[in-house]
Chains A and B, each alone.
Chain A
Amino acid sequence: MADENSSKTASVSQVMEKTEYKYGFKTDIDSDTLPKGLSEDVVRAISAKKNEPQFMLDFRLKAYRKWLTMKEPAWPNVHYPKIDFQNISYYSAPKPKKKLESLDEVDPELLRTFEKLGIPLDEQKRLSNVAVDAVFDSVSVATTHKKKLMEVGIIFCPISEALQEYPELVEEYLGTVVPIGDNFYAALNSAVFTDGSFVYIPPDTISPMELSTYFRINTEETGQFERTLIICAENSYVSYLEGCTAPQFDTNQLHAAVVELVTLDNAEIKYSTVQNWYAGDPETGKGGIYNFVTKRGKCLGDNSKISWTQVETGSAITWKYPSCILQGDNTQGEFYSVALTNGHMQADTGTKMIHIGKNTKSSIISKGISADHSSNSYRGLVKVNKGAVNARNYTQCDSMLVGDQCSAHTFPYIETANNSVQLEHEASTSKISEEQLFYFEQRGISRENAITAVINGFCKEVFKQLPMEFAVEAQKLLTLKLENSVG
């Protein structure tokens, strides 16, 4: 397949390097890797390798040219050394890394984490790259669901496959929620994304199961620029789960995904994320993921609803604002978030609720927890356009501090262009107090368990939005993360 593609143009073959897999990977997996650096040829090469339709190549090139004119955003409340965009490989089906011979060679910290998460041993092997080809499970995960879903007309597949099978659907919606020039990282993603999920729920269909994608955890390279597009047609419903629960050990690495959601009349999408990318060394802050993600949903049809729930516990830097454009009348947007930072992590996260249609409603529940030397910012915009009569928003923004070296910030923005709106904003900052912990300890409850109980209580409103298994996983994660942050 790679040969066919690379033979199309001379420039494509020039920028491609062949890499042989040595460890028994399946033959249908593309093993080519582009050298570091970004250019128009690289963009063309990616598109050619994926055998994409012309519109997709045009989309990418337009995005790339736009990106060249853009600057990295400087407004987030995060600090990091300048990223050298020419020092990143933009198409890399996983390269064979140095393979671990046994579990003994795996970072014990990582093993301990998995043990506590209750992930079985074979899963452990898979995640830490001891098993040779398990990292390629992504496609089969999608496939097992696919048949069952197809029976009710639901399309759930990698976006690269959707571009082959359903190009007209992709063309109709891709970039309609997050335009290619939306922001620096969205433009970059639009130019170079390699894969992601595609979901289409046909009219009058309630998805018979939760759709979940875990495949992004598999290798560092392919997970960098993923693109997800979910379309929920009239009177339909889907709950989608995104799990990034696998820690990775890496040098700083850029993860710039774009997620677009579209709901038509009376449709509803519930999108849940538990993010636990590797956050860097807790002592030195070295390494970890830069998680710069654009997630946005558009309630295009009347009476439709989009609900984001996120539990952000990882990444060295998180910079993301899952947002809702409430375009149809009587549409609803929701944002439930728990963002935990510890070690030297930095998070600048929140949401945007853009009210365009009449009688639109949005609610924002944000819980920020900061520990150690971390910095945690909530940044949210509620914007009400002129035509959005009777718009309503409720915002609750709570911060909790653990220790006295961390910080919590809130940046709420409200813009309203009509006077029929009703907006409420509540905010609080609390500390886990020494007196509270002493109270627990005096009853024989350990400090760790005390903190878990207080934190879970603090996050309750968000956790109850998550599907059961996710809620349990999220609680465990928070405990795990905070265990070392306390005394």
Chain B
Amino acid sequence: MSLLEIKDLHAGFEGTEIVKGVSLTINAGEVHAIMGPNGSGKSTLSKVLAGHPSYVVSKGSITYNGQDLLEMDAEERALAGVFLGFQYPVEIPGVNNAEFLRMAYNAKLVKQGQDEVDPLDFDEILDEKMKMVGMDKKYKDRFLNEGFSGGEKKKNEILQMAVLDPKLTILDETDSGLDIDALKVVAQGVNKLTNENNALIMITHYQRLLNYIEPQFVHVFSGGKIVKSGGKELAHELEAQGYDWVTAPAK
């Protein structure tokens, strides 16, 4: 059984259809890259997968782990192991980063029928995860994403991924706004977290992230559809020849 099976998905935002017939199958242990020009529907797909209430699915199906994903709300999907690394993580003033992470961690434990962890025990877990993703401990006591630089926000997303250990991770433009050093750190973190039991979808405009996190599959989005799929070499060709190379024939 595939971890994720998307069939002929049509979806949009405020009455405009943006994703226009996408089919995609992802198995555990796989890393997929979704590339494409701005406005091609990549981010919409990520929001639809995560269950954002403003995005409406008009046609098609998504099966996750044998369940109908579209029947689940955002919270249920998260608890079932779907994780979205946001392109623009929101700032939440007044909410302590460590406390937020503990809430999320405990929500998962409760879902699995286990006891919640107290702040002291969680602190140990958090220290280990912060080390893993190369994040300074001082961010524990900051308000969630408030005043974080672009790089810190993205690292914080990966920290959350590390804490929650999801089955399916979608990273939406995680590389945007990162300098090369930050990109390396983030990529190392992600690589430590991927294994044969989980799957990763990387949504990106540029090829450079893929130098550090190697996908087995690359899909090119254009006009709300996948216009070309291939192996990692496809990413190199795109980088060399530009998106027109694949998007032009689609028109």
A contact set with B: CB distance below 8 Å: 433-436, 438-447, 449, 453-454, 456-458, 460
Chain B residues lying within 8 Å of A454, measured Cβ to Cβ, are 92, 94-95
Binds A, one of B20-28, B82-90, B182-190, B222-230: B82-90
Q: Shortest Cβ distance from B13 into chain A, in angstroms?
A: 13
Determine which of A433, A435, A441, A457 lies in contact with B95 in the assembled complex, contact meaning CB atoms within 8 Å: A457
- Of all chain B residues, the one with the shortest Cβ separation from A428 is B93
- Of all chain A residues, the one with the shortest Cβ separation from B50 is A442
- Of all chain A residues, the one with the shortest Cβ separation from B99 is A453
Bound together, the chains give a CA A460 to CA B78 distance in angstroms of 28
**Do residues A438 and B94 form an inter-chain contact, with CB atoms below 8 A?**
no
Those of B52-105 within 8 Å (CB) of chain A: 52-54, 73-75, 77-79, 83-84, 86, 89-90, 92-96, 99-100, 103-104
Bound together, the chains give a CA A57 to CA B90 distance in angstroms of 62
**Do residues A435 and B74 form an inter-chain contact, with CB atoms below 8 A?**
no
Bound together, the chains give a CA A457 to CA B97 distance in angstroms of 11
Given contacts A434-B54, A441-B73, A442-B50, contact A456 B89 (CB under 8 A): no
Q: Which of B51, B52, B90 is the most central at the interface, judged by chain A CB atoms within 10 Å of its CB?
A: B90
B43 at the interface (CB under 8 A from A): no
B142 at the interface (CB under 8 A from A): no
**Do residues A445 and B92 form an inter-chain contact, with CB atoms below 8 A?**
no
Count of B interface residues, CB-CB < 8 Å:
31
**Do residues B107 and A446 form an inter-chain contact, with CB atoms below 8 A?**
yes
**Do residues A457 and B90 form an inter-chain contact, with CB atoms below 8 A?**
no
Determine which of B83, B90, B107, B111 lies in contact with A439 in the assembled complex, contact meaning CB atoms within 8 Å: B90
In the complex, number of A-B residue pairs with CB atoms less than 8 Å apart: 72
Bound together, the chains give a CA A257 to CA B185 distance in angstroms of 62
B232 at the interface (CB under 8 A from A): no
Chain A residues lying within 8 Å of B143, measured Cβ to Cβ, are 457
Q: Shortest Cβ distance from B147 into chain A, in angstroms?
A: 14
Determine which of B53, B79, B99, B108 lies in contact with A438 in the assembled complex, contact meaning CB atoms within 8 Å: B53
B194 at the interface (CB under 8 A from A): no
8 A-B residue pairs with CB within 8 Å: A438-B52, A440-B100, A442-B74, A444-B108, A444-B111, A444-B164, A449-B103, A458-B93
Beyond the given A444-B79, A457-B94, please list 14 additional residue pairs across the A-B interface where CB-CB is below 8 A.
A433-B90, A438-B50, A438-B53, A438-B74, A440-B103, A442-B50, A442-B86, A443-B164, A444-B78, A444-B107, A444-B164, A446-B107, A454-B94, A457-B143
Bound together, the chains give a CA A433 to CA B54 distance in angstroms of 13
B160 at the interface (CB under 8 A from A): yes
**Do residues B107 and A443 form an inter-chain contact, with CB atoms below 8 A?**
yes
Q: Shortest Cβ distance from A455 into chain B, in angstroms?
A: 8
Bound together, the chains give a CA A438 to CA B92 distance in angstroms of 12
Chain A residues lying within 8 Å of B74, measured Cβ to Cβ, are 438, 441-442
Q: Shortest Cβ distance from B161 into chain A, in angstroms?
A: 10
Chain A residues lying within 8 Å of B104, measured Cβ to Cβ, are 443-445
**Do residues B108 and A457 form an inter-chain contact, with CB atoms below 8 A?**
no
Q: Which of A436, A439, A446 is the most central at the interface, judged by chain B CB atoms within 10 Å of its CB?
A: A439
Q: Shortest Cβ distance from A403 into chain B, in angstroms?
A: 15
Bound together, the chains give a CA A449 to CA B94 distance in angstroms of 14
Chain B residues lying within 8 Å of A441, measured Cβ to Cβ, are 51, 73-75, 78
- Mask for B141-161, Cβ within 8 A of A = 1, else 0? 001000000000000000010
**Do residues A458 and B94 form an inter-chain contact, with CB atoms below 8 A?**
yes
Given contacts A435-B90, A436-B92, contact A442 B84 (CB under 8 A): yes
Chain B residues lying within 8 Å of A434, measured Cβ to Cβ, are 53-54
Q: Shortest Cβ distance from A425 into chain B, in angstroms?
A: 20
- Of all chain B residues, the one with the shortest Cβ separation from A461 is B94
Chain B residues lying within 8 Å of A456, measured Cβ to Cβ, are 94
Chain B residues lying within 8 Å of A446, measured Cβ to Cβ, are 75, 107
**Do residues B94 and A443 form an inter-chain contact, with CB atoms below 8 A?**
no
Q: Shortest Cβ distance from A369 into chain B, in angstroms?
A: 12
Q: Shortest Cβ distance from A204 into chain B, in angstroms?
A: 40
Chain B residues lying within 8 Å of A453, measured Cβ to Cβ, are 92, 95, 99-100, 103
- Of all chain B residues, the one with the shortest Cβ separation from A432 is B92
Bound together, the chains give a CA A261 to CA B93 distance in angstroms of 35
Q: Which of B74, B84, B108 is the most central at the interface, judged by chain A CB atoms within 10 Å of its CB?
A: B74
Q: Shortest Cβ distance from B78 into chain A, in angstroms?
A: 4
Given contacts A438-B53, A438-B74, A457-B143, contact A445 B103 (CB under 8 A): yes
**Do residues A443 and B90 form an inter-chain contact, with CB atoms below 8 A?**
no
Chain A residues lying within 8 Å of B111, measured Cβ to Cβ, are 444
Q: Shortest Cβ distance from A456 into chain B, in angstroms?
A: 7
Chain B residues lying within 8 Å of A445, measured Cβ to Cβ, are 75, 100, 103-104, 107
- Of all chain A residues, the one with the shortest Cβ separation from B84 is A442
Q: Shortest Cβ distance from B23 into chain A, in angstroms?
A: 24
- Of all chain B residues, the one with the shortest Cβ separation from A458 is B94
Bound together, the chains give a CA A445 to CA B160 distance in angstroms of 13
- Of all chain A residues, the one with the shortest Cβ separation from B146 is A457
**Do residues B78 and A457 form an inter-chain contact, with CB atoms below 8 A?**
no
Q: Shortest Cβ distance from A475 into chain B, in angstroms?
A: 12
Chain B residues lying within 8 Å of A440, measured Cβ to Cβ, are 100, 103
Bound together, the chains give a CA A347 to CA B50 distance in angstroms of 39
Q: Shortest Cβ distance from B111 into chain A, in angstroms?
A: 7
Q: Shortest Cβ distance from A452 into chain B, in angstroms?
A: 10
4 nearest A-B pairs in the assembled complex, by CB-CB distance: A457-B94, A444-B78, A443-B104, A441-B74
Chain B residues lying within 8 Å of A438, measured Cβ to Cβ, are 50, 52-53, 74
Given contacts A434-B53, A438-B53, A457-B143, contact A444 B75 (CB under 8 A): yes
Chain A residues lying within 8 Å of B83, measured Cβ to Cβ, are 442
